[in-house]
């Protein structure tokens, strides 16, 4: 099983190298059904939307991926899957 540091570095790499028409979907592996969608704008800012089955949160913009990693840790802990689309 890969370490959390390896997963975090790989996710950082994927985020930094996103094309305009690509995104990242992060899903909880627990029964909570939380999802986070992350895209990159032409300005270099990241757009994040987090949702679950009952509520859709507001759209947030981030310049630094450190804030995105903290948000992922706060919402999902260490149990999530990552899909590049």
Query: How far is 15 from 68, CA to CA, in rounded Å?
Result: 10
Provide the strand spans (E) within the chain.
Answer: 23-28, 35-40, 46-51, 60-62, 80-84
Domain of 38, in residue numbers:
4-84
Work out the number of other CB atoms within 10 angstroms of the CB of residue 36. 21
Query: Which of 34-38, 45-49, 59-63, 78-82 is predicted least confidently?
Result: 78-82
**What pTM did the predictor assign?**
0.82
| Closest of 55, 25, 23, 27 to residue 41, by C-alpha | 23
Does 5 score more than 70 pLDDT? no
Q: What is the pLDDT of residue 3?
A: 47
What value does the mean pLDDT take over residues 44-58? 80
Q: How many CB atoms lie within 10 A of CB 13?
A: 10
Q: Are 39 and 53 in contact (CB under 8 A)?
A: no
Please tell me which residue, 53 or 19, carries the higher pLDDT value.
19
- How many domains does the chain contain in total? 1
Q: Tell me, what's the pLDDT at 59?
A: 87
């Amino acid at each position: 099983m890969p370490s959390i540091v390896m997963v975090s570095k790989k996710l950082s790499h994927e985020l930094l190298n996103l094309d305009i028409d690509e995104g990242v979907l992060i899903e909880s592996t627990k029964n909570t059904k939380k999802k986070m969608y992350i895209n990159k704008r032409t300005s270099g800012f990241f757009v994040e939307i987090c949702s679950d089955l009952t509520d859709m949160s507001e759209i947030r913009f981030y310049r630094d991926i450190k804030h995105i990693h903290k948000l992922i840790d706060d919402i999902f802990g260490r149990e999530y899957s990552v899909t590049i689309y």
